């Protein structure tokens, strides 16, 4: 169950995803085909193009339909997937692959997307940080520059504007030192004056030092340690000079140096004075400190110049130059120190005036990898360009989030794929199993068919010789036989017939197993059936000396409706088993109503040995039905049968070997016997009980047993029949007319065993004899003495007879009054009864050999009492005679295409005095039988050319029906000899083929019965007597 649920769930999920996939796949395919066709179409014409497009569309549609239809099929998988899944399986596989690939791509894309997002964010952070730094640097620089400019104005005002000058070296250095916080980026400031060559001498004299050149020729200016001011040469003769006169203490070493002699400085100075703006040098190693630095130069003019002054005017007006030294490296360092997150990024500052060769001003030159942000720096000098490059110190962290996300997606997709795959393969497996089961089923069915065929063949082979036996018995019955012989022959025949029917019923086992067996609904005489069964086993029981007895409760109706054959079969099986396993004692069959049993159940005491039929202990009868469902555990009926139903309970009790406890559980299994040795000693197939169980089940009953090893077994079954008695005949039908001669007689049964006496009582009262039971002989005599009515017979059990015969006879002889009743001895076996011939004075007693049964009892009594012995009535004679009576003067039509058969049949019927007309074909028969006609019956061959017997009969029936209708409407004249108001001619089929199916077919097409070909007197009689009242009957 749970597996099924899981499967169902899987299928549902699968369906969901299937639809999703369908959509994707169709989209894919659509696009794919479009692309391909697009490629192809490039080379073909327009016509081709349209064709292709339609084809493609068709393809697409087909594909879509196929997928969606198979998708829709999924919910009804369990019902009809068998056919479609084979096709689907290949698709499933492909789809799973497509599914997996698709989701792998999706996860890769997710990964890429997430990491690019992260990268973007990082870049943004970097940019903002870099820009922030650049802006700060720029601001600081500008502040410094402004201040330097302010200082230039200071100098022009206080140095050149005042005579004498208000500033000397000391004042300047002090002032600049104290205001250095205003210029955070400058490490030092110096002022150089413009000195023309003509003024040099005077200037040198005034200052007290010579103007010196910045670099000595042989000296590398970069050397910082051995920098020696004194070593510098005096400046050569130039047009003009720019010696430093004031300097901040930090750069005091540059005093007296000619700024125009340094390459960088000269350029700077010239540019500054012509532009009037602050000018920056390219970064270069500073003198003495030898660190990278930039010098900012402002020109100091004699007078305030207008902003649009030409360079020449500016040069003219130049008084000196103020320079600020920017030690970029340390200054940037300081600046960055002040900012947060200085650890995370690396900053480089470049001078990129020459683009191809950027000069690094700050920062380590780590190989640039990954992200870099470039921010421009504007320091107010249009000629010089600077930029700041920022990088992250650390490499980017692993993109954990994106990895986890994409991995998660992938895992889910794979799981789903796995589920789908597992589901599909599960379905496939189930399907395969189903196929396998189907094949096995087919095999099993084939084996079953083979078994049935075998059974059919074998039983057919048995039936053939049995028919011979029965035929011979048949002939024997036609001969002159006395009553006893008749009884023997009848028994033999009944046994034979029982055997044949048993064989048929073995054949029915297959039918039962397949549930095709249907019970008949026929009126039957239950007591007659039991008599028959009893006689079947009587010889065997007599041989063994086992007492066989039947008792049927009064309350069981004489006639029941049900299937007598099957009922008989059950009884035969049970009794057959009993007699097989019983060597001494008795077999006792009782039939009661279930209701009756309930009433007596409380009164019934535990059975003591004495109360049984033969005095031997038996198995507890009650235990055999205690498991019946119809009886609830407290011993009361759990359902109330509907009134017309007769619920019988039948027990077969024996005093046999019993069933071993270990075998009791498999007693109703087919072909199971107690042990292998049983079949060797007793024969049998072991099928009987299983058939019985099935049959009992069909009769809405149950079967059970109780058995005690070495004591005996009791089988009990219930069966439901309908009441076959018409309400009117219930009262007066108790005595059958055949036995009317005994009516009113009285008998005394001497028996000390109540159970046995009850059986005797039952059988005698069936004959209409009133019975008095007494336990002892004395009481019988006493009864005779005081009895007011005459007693016709005394029935004595053999057991008592053996014991008390002498005594009894003496007593009888004493009183001649007692001679009138006839002595009857009830004996178990033939030999024992005759052994004692002590009847000296009186007539030898009549011996009745058990089992008692009505017909035999009647015959014996008739003979013994000398009553009712007369010529058997006409209709009791041999069939040939009765047939003659029945058929004399009847007009019969025989239809057969075979001349010989026709002739023989006609001869046979003529012999019985019938007036026979022959017809060679069905058509002729129809023309002869067109009502009104004078035929009394028709015998019809079935297999005839042109029109077979069935067809002919059908037509005859049609004609009759039409005629009947006309008679009813008063259209047709009622024929004078036929004072009948409706036509129905008895039509009997003649056939060599006596299969049941043919019989049914006969009845179906309106025939009244069938006789086998060639004619068999008894069968003919049986069939014919159903339609013709015997003339003797009508006479008498």
Partner 1 sequence: MDALIAQLQRQFRDYTISLYQQGFLDDQFTELKKLQDDGSPDFVSEVLSLFFEDCVKLISNMARALDTTGTVDFSQVGASVHQLKGSSSSVGAKRVKTLCVSFKECCEAKNYEGCVRCLQQVDIEYKALKTKLQDMFNLEKQIIQAGGIVPQVDIN
Closest approach, Cβ 941 to partner 1, in A, equals: 8
* Residue 904 contacts partner 1 per CB under 8 A: yes
Closest CA to 714 of 724, 722, 703, 725: 703
Closest approach, Cβ 1016 to partner 1, in A, equals: 9
Please calculate the CA angle 978-981-984 and round it to the nearest 5 degrees.
80
Report the C-alpha gap between 618 and 611 in whole angstroms.
Answer: 10
Report the C-alpha gap between 991 and 1010 in whole angstroms.
Answer: 7
Q: Kindly tell me which residue out of 38, 382, 844, 907 binds partner 1, with binding defined by CB under 8 A.
A: 907
Closest approach, Cβ 900 to partner 1, in A, equals: 4
Tokens representing residue 789 in the block = 């009515």
Beta carbon nearer to partner 1, 471 or 545: 471
Q: How far is CA 678 from CA 581, 669, 758, in A?
A: 10, 15, 34
Beta carbon nearer to partner 1, 104 or 904: 904
Q: Kindly tell me which residue out of 3, 606, 900, 973 binds partner 1, with binding defined by CB under 8 A.
A: 900
Q: Kindly tell me which residue out of 898, 964, 1019, 1030 binds partner 1, with binding defined by CB under 8 A.
A: 898
Beta carbon nearer to partner 1, 336 or 923: 923
Beta carbon nearer to partner 1, 333 or 897: 897
Closest approach, Cβ 1031 to partner 1, in A, equals: 20
Question: Which residues, in sequence order, are CB contacts of 295 under 8 Å at separation 6+?
Answer: 264, 265, 268, 280, 281, 323, 324, 325, 326
Closest CA to 987 of 1026, 1031, 947, 946: 1026
Question: Which residues, in sequence order, are CB contacts of 464 under 8 Å at separation 6+?
Answer: none
Closest CA to 734 of 881, 854, 882, 574: 854
**Burial class, 80, CB count within 10 angstroms (exposed 0-12 / middle 13-18 / buried 19+):** exposed
Q: Kindly tell me which residue out of 40, 105, 446, 992 binds partner 1, with binding defined by CB under 8 A.
A: 992
Q: For residues 915-944, which are near partner 1 according to CB under 8 A? A: 943
Report the C-alpha gap between 316 and 1 in whole angstroms.
Answer: 111
Report the C-alpha gap between 922 and 895 in whole angstroms.
Answer: 7
**Which region, judged by CB under 8 A, interacts with partner 1, from 215-223, 228-236, 494-502, 902-910?**
902-910
> For residue 463, what is the enclosing H or E element?
helix 400-478
Closest approach, Cβ 1013 to partner 1, in A, equals: 7
Closest approach, Cβ 907 to partner 1, in A, equals: 4
**DSSP H stretches of helix in 611-720:** 621-624, 676-682, 688-698
DSSP 819: G
**Which region, judged by CB under 8 A, interacts with partner 1, from 292-300, 452-460, 821-829, 894-902?**
894-902
**Which region, judged by CB under 8 A, interacts with partner 1, from 490-498, 528-536, 545-553, 896-904?**
896-904
Closest CA to 92 of 198, 162, 11: 11
Residues 1000-1019 as x/- pattern, contact with partner 1 by CB under 8 A: -------------xxx----
Closest approach, Cβ 936 to partner 1, in A, equals: 20
Residues 438-477 as x/- pattern, contact with partner 1 by CB under 8 A: ---------------------------------x------
Beta carbon nearer to partner 1, 666 or 903: 903
Report the C-alpha gap between 902 and 895 in whole angstroms.
Answer: 7
Q: Are 1008 and 1022 in contact (CB under 8 A)?
A: no
3-class DSSP state of 291: coil
**Which region, judged by CB under 8 A, interacts with partner 1, from 378-386, 908-916, 955-963, 975-983?**
908-916
Task: Please report the DSSP string for 173-213 in residue order.
Answer: HHHHHHTGGG-TTEEEEEEEE-EEHHHHHHHHHHHTS--B-
What totals of helices (H) and strands (E) does the chain contain, helices first?
A: 28, 29
Q: Kindly tell me which residue out of 397, 643, 816, 945 binds partner 1, with binding defined by CB under 8 A.
A: 945
Tokens representing residue 130 in the block = 């870099």
3-class DSSP state of 473: helix
* Residue 903 contacts partner 1 per CB under 8 A: yes
Closest approach, Cβ 468 to partner 1, in A, equals: 10
Beta carbon nearer to partner 1, 814 or 910: 910
Q: Kindly tell me which residue out of 30, 778, 897, 961 binds partner 1, with binding defined by CB under 8 A.
A: 897
Beta carbon nearer to partner 1, 219 or 898: 898
Cis peptide bond prior to 489, omega within 30° of 0? no
Closest approach, Cβ 1030 to partner 1, in A, equals: 22
3-class DSSP state of 728: helix
**Which region, judged by CB under 8 A, interacts with partner 1, from 154-162, 242-250, 703-711, 897-905?**
897-905
**Which region, judged by CB under 8 A, interacts with partner 1, from 119-127, 352-360, 417-425, 906-914?**
906-914
Closest approach, Cβ 902 to partner 1, in A, equals: 9
Beta carbon nearer to partner 1, 58 or 903: 903
Q: Kindly tell me which residue out of 95, 861, 905, 1024 binds partner 1, with binding defined by CB under 8 A.
A: 905
User: How many residues bind partner 1, per CB under 8 A?
Assistant: 20
Closest approach, Cβ 476 to partner 1, in A, equals: 11
Instruction: Specify whether the backbone of 836 is left (phi greater than 0), alpha (psi in -120 to 50) or beta.
Output: beta
3-class DSSP state of 721: strand
Q: Kindly tell me which residue out of 157, 334, 669, 899 binds partner 1, with binding defined by CB under 8 A.
A: 899
* Residue 901 contacts partner 1 per CB under 8 A: yes
Beta carbon nearer to partner 1, 130 or 1017: 1017
Closest approach, Cβ 818 to partner 1, in A, equals: 51
**DSSP H stretches of helix in 642-753:** 676-682, 688-698
Closest approach, Cβ 870 to partner 1, in A, equals: 29
DSSP 157: I
* Residue 162 contacts partner 1 per CB under 8 A: no
Strand partners, 284: 293
Q: Long-range contacts of range 837-841, CB-CB < 8 Å, 24 or more positions apart?
A: 838/805, 838/806, 838/809, 839/809, 840/809, 841/809, 841/813
Closest approach, Cβ 945 to partner 1, in A, equals: 6
**Which region, judged by CB under 8 A, interacts with partner 1, from 144-152, 521-529, 646-654, 895-903?**
895-903
Closest approach, Cβ 456 to partner 1, in A, equals: 16
Closest CA to 1035 of 852, 888, 839: 888
Beta carbon nearer to partner 1, 587 or 916: 916
Closest approach, Cβ 455 to partner 1, in A, equals: 21
Around Cβ 621, how many Cβ atoms within 10 Å? 19
Beta carbon nearer to partner 1, 945 or 970: 945
Question: Residues in the site for partner 1, rule: CB under 8 A?
Answer: 471, 896-901, 903-905, 907-908, 910-911, 943, 945, 992, 1013-1015
């Amino acid at each position: 169950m749970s597996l099924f649920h899981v499967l169902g769930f899987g299928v549902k999920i699968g369906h969901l995803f299937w639809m999703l996939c369908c959509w994707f796949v169709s989209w894919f395919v659509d696009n794919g085909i479009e692309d391909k066709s697009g490629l192809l179409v490039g080379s073909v014409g327009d016509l081709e193009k349209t064709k292709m497009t339609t084809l493609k569309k068709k393809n697409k549609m087909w594909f879509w339909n196929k997928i969606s239809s198979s998708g829709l099929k999924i919910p009804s998988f369990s019902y009809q997937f068998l056919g479609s899944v084979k096709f689907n399986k290949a698709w499933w596989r492909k789809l799973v692959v497509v599914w997996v690939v698709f989701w792998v791509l999706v996860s890769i894309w997710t990964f890429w997307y997430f990491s690019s997002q992260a990268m973007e964010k990082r870049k943004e952070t970097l940019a903002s940080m870099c820009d922030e730094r650049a802006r700060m640097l720029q601001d600081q620089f500008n502040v410094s520059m402004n201040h330097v400019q302010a200082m230039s104005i200071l100098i022009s005002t206080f140095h050149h504007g005042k005579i004498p000058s208000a500033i000397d070296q000391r004042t300047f250095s002090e002032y600049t030192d104290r205001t250095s916080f205003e210029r955070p980026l400058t490490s030092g400031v110096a002022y150089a004056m413009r000195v023309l060559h003509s003024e040099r001498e005077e200037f040198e004299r005034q200052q007290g030092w010579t103007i010196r050149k910045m670099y000595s020729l042989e000296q590398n200016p970069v050397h910082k340690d051995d920098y020696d001011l004194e070593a510098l040469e005096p400046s050569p003769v130039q047009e003009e000079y720019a010696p430093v006169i004031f300097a901040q203490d930090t750069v005091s070493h540059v005093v007296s140096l000619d700024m125009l002699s340094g390459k960088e400085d000269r350029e700077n100075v010239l540019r500054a004075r012509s532009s009037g703006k602050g000018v920056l040098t390219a970064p270069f190693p500073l003198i003495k400190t030898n660190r990278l630095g930039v010098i900012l130069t402002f020109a100091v003019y004699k007078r305030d110049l207008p902003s649009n002054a030409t360079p020449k005017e500016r040069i003219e007006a130049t008084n000196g130059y103020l320079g600020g030294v920017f030690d970029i490296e340390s200054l940037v360092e300081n600046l960055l120190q002040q900012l947060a997150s200085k650890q995370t990024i690396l900053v480089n500052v470049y001078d990129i005036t020459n683009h191809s060769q950027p000069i690094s001003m700050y920062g380590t030159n780590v190989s640039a990898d990954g992200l870099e942000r470039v921010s421009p720096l504007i320091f107010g000098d249009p000629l010089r360009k600077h930029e700041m490059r920022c990088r992250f110190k650390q490499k980017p962290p692993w993109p954990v989030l994106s990895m986890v996300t994409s991995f998660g997606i992938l895992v889910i997709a794979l799981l789903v794929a796995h589920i789908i795959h597992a589901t599909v393969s599960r379905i496939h497996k189930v399907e395969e199993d189903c196929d396998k089961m189907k094949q096995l089923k087919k095999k099993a069915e084939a084996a079953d068919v083979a078994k049935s065929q075998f059974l059919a063949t074998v039983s057919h082979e048995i039936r053939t010789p049995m028919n011979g036996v029965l035929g011979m018995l048949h002939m024997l019955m036609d001969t002159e036989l006395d009553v006893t012989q008749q009884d023997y022959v009848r028994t033999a025949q009944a046994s034979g017939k029982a055997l044949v029917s048993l064989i048929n019923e073995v054949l029915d086992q297959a039918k039962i197993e397949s549930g095709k067996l249907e019970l008949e609904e026929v009126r039957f005489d239950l007591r007659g059936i039991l008599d028959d069964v009893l006689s079947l086993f009587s010889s065997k029981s007599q041989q063994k000396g086992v007492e066989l007895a039947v008792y049927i409760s009064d309350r069981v109706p004489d006639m029941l409706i049900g299937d007598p054959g099957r009922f008989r079969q059950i009884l035969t099986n049970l009794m057959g088993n009993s007699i097989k396993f019983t060597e001494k004692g008795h077999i006792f069959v009782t039939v009661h109503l279930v209701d009756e049993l309930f009433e007596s159940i409380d009164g019934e005491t535990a059975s003591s040995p004495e109360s049984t039929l033969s005095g031997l202990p038996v198995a507890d009868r009650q235990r055999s039905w205690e498991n019946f469902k119809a009886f609830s555990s407290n011993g009361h009926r759990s359902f109330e049968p509907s009134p017309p139903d007769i619920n019988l309970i039948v027990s077969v009790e024996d005093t046999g070997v019993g069933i071993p406890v270990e075998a009791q559980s498999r007693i109703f299994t087919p072909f199971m016997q107690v042990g292998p040795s049983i079949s060797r000693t007793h024969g049998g197939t072991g099928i009987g009980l299983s058939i019985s169980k099935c049959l009992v089940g069909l009769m809405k009953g149950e079967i059970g047993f109780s058995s005690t090893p070495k004591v005996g077994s009791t089988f009990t079954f219930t069966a439901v029949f309908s009441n076959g008695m018409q309400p009117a005949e219930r009262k007066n039908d108790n005595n059958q007319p055949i036995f009317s001669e005994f009516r009113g007689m009285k008998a005394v049964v001497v028996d000390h065993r109540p159970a046995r006496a009850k059986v005797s009582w039952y059988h005698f009262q069936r004959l209409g004899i009133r019975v008095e039971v007494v336990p002892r002989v004395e009481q019988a005599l006493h009864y005779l003495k005081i009895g007011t009515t005459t007693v016709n017979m005394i029935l004595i059990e053999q057991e008592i007879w053996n014991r008390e015969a002498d005594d009894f006879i003496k007593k009888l002889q004493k009183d001649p009054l007692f001679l009138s009743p006839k002595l009857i001895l009830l004996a178990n076996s033939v030999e024992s009864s005759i052994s004692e011939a002590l009847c000296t004075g009186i007539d030898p007693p009549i011996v009745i050999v058990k089992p008692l049964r009505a017909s035999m009892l009647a015959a014996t009594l008739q003979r013994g009492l000398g009553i009712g012995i007369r010529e058997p009535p006409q209709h009791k004679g041999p069939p040939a005679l009765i047939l003659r009576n029945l058929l004399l003067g009847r007009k019969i039509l025989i239809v057969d295409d075979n001349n010989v058969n026709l002739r023989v049949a006609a001869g046979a019927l003529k012999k019985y005095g019938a007036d026979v007309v022959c017809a060679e074909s069905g058509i002729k028969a129809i023309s002869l039988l067109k009502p009104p006609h004078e035929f009394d019956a028709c015998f019809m061959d079935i297999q005839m050319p042109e029109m077979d017997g069935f067809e002919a009969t059908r037509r005859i029936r049609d004609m009759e029906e039409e005629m009947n209708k006309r008679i009813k409407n008063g259209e047709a004249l009622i024929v004078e000899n036929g004072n009948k108001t409706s036509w129905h001619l008895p039509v009997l089929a003649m056939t060599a083929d006596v299969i049941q199916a043919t019989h049914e077919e006969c009845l179906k097409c309106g025939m009244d019965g069938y006789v086998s070909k060639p004619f068999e007197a008894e069968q003919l009689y049986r069939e014919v007597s159903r339609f013709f009242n015997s003339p003797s009957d009508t006479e008498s």
